[in-house]
A and B are shown apart, each in its own frame.
Chain A
Amino acid sequence: MAVSVLAQEQLRLDAGPVDYVLLALYFAFVLGIGYLARRSVSTSLDFFLSGRALPAWVTGLAFVAANLGAIEIIGMSANGAEYGMPTMHYFWVGAVPAMLFLGIVMMPFYYGSKVRSVPEFMLRRFGKPAHLVNGISFAVAQVLIAGVNLYLLASIVNVLLGWPLWLSVLVAAAIVLSYTALGGLSAAIYNEVLQFFVIVAALLPLTLAGLHKVGGWHGLVDKVSASPGGPEQLSAWPATELTGFTNSFLSVLGVVFGLGFVLAFGYWTTNFVEVQRAMASKSMSAAQRTPIIGAFPKLLIPFIVVIPGMVAGVAVQDLVAYKATGQGAVDYNDAILLLMRDLLPNGILGVALAGLLASFMAGMAANLSSFNTVFTYDIWQAYVVRDRPDDYYLRMGRWVTVGATVLAVGTAFIAAGYENLMDYLQQLFSFFNAPLFATFILGMFWKRMTPTAGWVGLVLGTASAITVYGLAESEVLHLPGQGASFVGAGVAFVVDIVLSVVVSLVTRPKPEEELVGLVYSLTPKANLQASTSGEDAGWYRKPGLLAGIVLVITIVLNIVFG
């Protein structure tokens, strides 16, 4: 993120005593939730998966909030200011279809097999080598990404309020640590639900005030049309500016397959940070509904993230100048902060600050709570210290959270020194997902796929993505804009599928009786079906019907704003 030293003067917010009180009140609630959640933790399953007892609306909102972090809000409003409406694709094409797929197709295997983590599914389906590859790469990625999130959080506090960076890092880490270590996943999830509403309470008034300022929707349309971006920034398709492809057809193809299929499905269906929220719900039906319920707010969030970005692009003087000349002390990443500075009076400014910090902490808490589960269950319990009583692993989980936070603080300080390095790392981690999705989907539907194919596909798929990325970075391959990550993920997906098929044909598959519940053709239909009685009764609790409604809304939105 480009919060340069130069920009600090422009971005400093006029926070008054009331704003600090409202902010402090929010943090009191956050810690209070951690303390209260602690009372419900008595086993390791309570700590790591909330005892599998949460209702679907709670896990559904947490599912969305865990992803509504710094990168999402700052990055997507920046894209809104720079590209306009095509940014909507990151939500409508790049998230919602994958979330529905996770709920309808994949969740029955995850929840039905009662695994406690995504790597544990790997263990049951493909055995130890694939499990270790997945578990360790996930754990390492989470600690480093938690550090990046922490650094982003601290740098925002530093810029907005003028606190020194090291103090912001330590305070933020202490707050996140205290509620995740106390209350485990329940505390993280309940806080994510609260965060979700506080983020909306911060962004909705900002959007409305912004629209009021530019003269309503028509005012925005007129101003954007007249801006350097031109009228094509008002329609989502074909997004040539976003993809970097000049041909409209290729651009649409790039959005649908690159963003919508390979990248999005890889991220949303295999990332344990997200899937963990669904695993914590109280029944198969609730688990399936988690990502589907999450899809409703996901459809609407861009209106309070992308639109303020677009407003900032035409209404904030510093940013208008930057958009026209490409020069100045601010850049697109500052869009939402500049709009807050210009529009919000004291009072609501405090709520907006709470919302921003809430969003940044949500990211880090989600990283920590998924890391401690994978580390404790998939690495420590599986390979290091086995067969201890449950309370050993519960205690262990708390200490792992402490250790991970310390590591994240270290990473945050490294990130402060080498900002570019962190960008690269994050890009690299995004490549783990595409081959993971290929391995999962093949493994769930093809019983012949062997344990060896499981880990070979993963390792070489990831390696091929890294190779493509390296070639693009060193200018050997010329790929525009987002092209490098679309192509890299696509190559990884294809390499993984091809190698898995080839290796499977020459190695021995697992015996069929060990694959019941893990592979579609070997699992009794009843095991994959959600119950429709008791707390799961009623048409509005049917996962399929809900997913259909989401799909219809998505199509309508694409037509209206296309």
Chain B
Amino acid sequence: MATEISPRKRTAGAFDIRLIIAALFSIYGIVLTVMGATGGAAETVKSAGLNINLYSGIGMLVFAALFALWVRLRPIVVETETSGAAADD
């Protein structure tokens, strides 16, 4: 799974949901972009000439890239001594 990218993170959440979301949407994005780009005219008949697969695929890839960037810029803060600051009551 995609989360294996960061196995050393020891946080309360243990894994970063943002990476999982980015992983799912990059796979979806790749599949749809390829389908949209190679499908030809038959693909767009249903949607009145609009290539939905292509545009959605590109949209998902951009979205996935933004989430990955967010993880990169603001990684989860690791609190090694306490497993969760709020759980100490």
Contact = CB atoms under 8 A, between A and B. Distances in A.
Given A345-B46, A345-B53, A53 B84 contact: yes
A259 B41 CA distance: 47
B46 to A, nearest CB: 5
Interface residues of B, number: 39
B86 interface: yes
A193 B17 contact: yes
Contacts of A186: 13
A212 B47 contact: yes
A53 B3 contact: no
Interface of A: 18, 21-22, 25-26, 29, 32-33, 36-37, 39-40, 42-43, 45-46, 51-54, 58, 114, 186, 190, 193-194, 197-198, 201, 204-205, 208-209, 212-213, 282-283, 342-348, 351, 535
Given A36-B15, A53-B84, A26 B53 contact: no
Contact of A25 (B27, B85, B87): B27
A186 B83 CA distance: 15
Given A194-B20, A205-B52, A205-B55, 17 more contacts: A25-B27, A26-B24, A36-B3, A51-B84, A58-B17, A193-B17, A197-B21, A209-B52, A282-B86, A343-B46, A344-B46, A345-B43, A345-B46, A345-B52, A347-B31, A348-B53, A351-B28
Interface string B67-89: 00000000001000001111101
B48 interface: yes
B42 to A, nearest CB: 9
Interface of B: 1, 3, 12-15, 17, 20-21, 23-25, 27-28, 31-32, 35-36, 39, 43-44, 46-48, 50, 52-53, 55-56, 59-60, 63, 77, 83-87, 89
Contacts of B86: 51-53, 282-283
Nearest to A42: B83
B27 A348 contact: no
Main secondary structure of the interface of B (DSSP, over half): helix
Given A53-B87, A205-B56, A345-B53, A213 B48 contact: yes
A254 to B, nearest CB: 39
A32 B1 contact: yes
A281 B69 CA distance: 24
B14 A40 contact: yes
Contacts of B14: 36-37, 39-40
A204 B85 CA distance: 38
A65 B75 CA distance: 24
A114 B89 contact: yes
A22 B84 contact: no
A426 to B, nearest CB: 31
Contacts of B32: 347-348, 351
